[in-house]
Amino acid sequence: MKNTQYFAGIIQELNGVLEEKYRKIHAWSQEEFLDYIQTYAGPLGRMKKLTPQELKEYGVVVGLDGSVNRLGGAYPHYVELYRGLAMSTQGHSSSVEEIYTPLLEEKMDQEEDQDQKDQDDRKRRLAEIEMKTAIQYMKTQPVDYLMMDGGLIRYRMYSNLWEEFTQTALERDVVTFGVIKDIKTAILGQGDQTQGLYDREILFGQLKAGDVIYIDDKKNKKVPSGLTSAFLKSSKEIQVVGLDLLKEQEGQMEKVCNLVYTLTPEGGRGVPLWIDIVDHEVKITDQEMEALFESYMDRDLFHRLFVSERDLRRL
C-alpha cells in the first residue's frame, strides 16, 4: 500500500493557506456583497422563465459547437479531424468537417516549443471551423438566435473569419451570443480585499438562481473587442456562467439572459440543455477515429505514420 501520509500533511497546509486567502470575502454580508458587485461589476437583475408562447416568439434558436480529435504520436506524425455542427431546436442541422496533418505541409521545420505551437494552431483551426459552420448556417437556414458553446472572444482572437461572421449576423439580424461554462475573468478582483482573485472565486455561492449581473462596459475588457457581457446564475449549480453578446446587439441582453435561463435545467450545470445536446452530437470519439482510419487508409501506411509507441503497447 502506498504511503500517502506526506501528501495528507501538505494538503492540510494548502487548505489553511487557501482558507486565509478567501477569509475576507467569505465573511461578507449579503448587503456588503451587493454593494461590491454594484461598484466593481454592474447592476444586479433578475431573469425570468419564459412561457411556452413567449419562447415560441423567439423564433428559431440554433446551438453551435466544434470538436477535434487527434490520432498518432509526436510532430509531425499525427492526424486531426475537425467538425463544426449547428443544430436548431426545430431539427435542422449543418456541419463542416476538415482533416489536418503536418505531413502535408511543404515546410515541416520543428520549432523549439513545438507542443505550444501545436496547441495554438489547434485553437485556430477549431475556431475557424466553427466560424465556417456558423456562416454557412446563417446563409442557408433560418435562424433568429445563435447560441455558441463558450465565449465569443476566442473567435476574434483565433479566426480570420470573425469580421465576416459578425457582418453576416448583423445583416441577417441574428442575435449571436456565447455561453461560458468556466469563467476565467477577473473583473471583480479590483478591490482592496479581492486583489488577485478571479470572478468565479468571488461569486461562488453568492447568487441565487435567476440572478444576473450586467457588466458595466467601463469594467469590461471585452468591449474593445466588440462584446458586452453578463454573469448568470441560471440553475441551482453553485457556480455562475458567463455570457458574451455582440456589442451592436446589447439591447437584446435581457431577452438573451431570459432565453438562457429558460433553456437551462434547474438542476443542471448552468448551461442550456441544447448546448449539451449539440456538444454530444459534434464530438469525435476515439472509437470513431480508429474505425475511420482502419476502414479507409492502407494499413501499412497507417501504422508507419500514425501509430505511436504508446498505441502499440495498448494494441
Instruction: Please indicate, yes or no, if residue 274 is contained in any of the structural domains.
Output: yes
> In this structure, is the dihedral angle defined by the CA atoms of residues 33, 34, 39 and 45, taken in order, positive or negative?
positive
| pLDDT average, residue stretch 243-267 | 97
pLDDT for 314 beyond 60: no
How confident is the model at residue 313, as a pLDDT? 47
Whether 269 is in a domain gets the answer yes
* pLDDT tens profile 39-86: 999 999 999 999 999 999 999 999 999 999 999 988 899 999 999 999
Q: Is residue 140 part of a domain?
A: yes
Three-point CA angle 137, 140, 143, nearest 5°: 60
Q: Does 50 map to a domain?
A: yes
Number of folded domains that form the chain: 1
For residues 148 and 156, give the distance between their C-alpha atoms in angstroms, rounded to a whole number: 13
Distances (CA, A) of 210 to 205, 213, 221, 235, 265: 13, 10, 25, 7, 12
CATH, residue 133: 3.30.2170
Residue of 281, 285, 293 whose CA lies nearest to 101 = 293
Rg (CA), the chain: 23
Higher confidence at residue 284 or residue 192? Answer: 284
Range of the domain at 203: 24-284
CB atoms inside a 10 Å sphere around CB 163: 11
Q: Is residue 63 part of a domain?
A: yes
- Quick one: average pLDDT of 4-25? 88
Taking the model in full, what pTM does it have?
Answer: 0.91
In a domain, 299, yes or no: no
pLDDT digits (tens, 9 = 90+) for 298-310: 999 999 999 875 5
Domain membership flag for residue 45:
yes
Share of the chain above pLDDT 90, in %: 78
The residue ranking higher by pLDDT, 131 or 267, is 131
Is residue 302 assigned to a domain? Answer: no
Instruction: Provide the H-helix boundaries in 41-176.
Output: 52-56, 114-140, 153-158, 162-171
Q: For the chain, how many residues are written?
A: 315
The span from the CA of 169 to the CA of 162, in Å, is 11
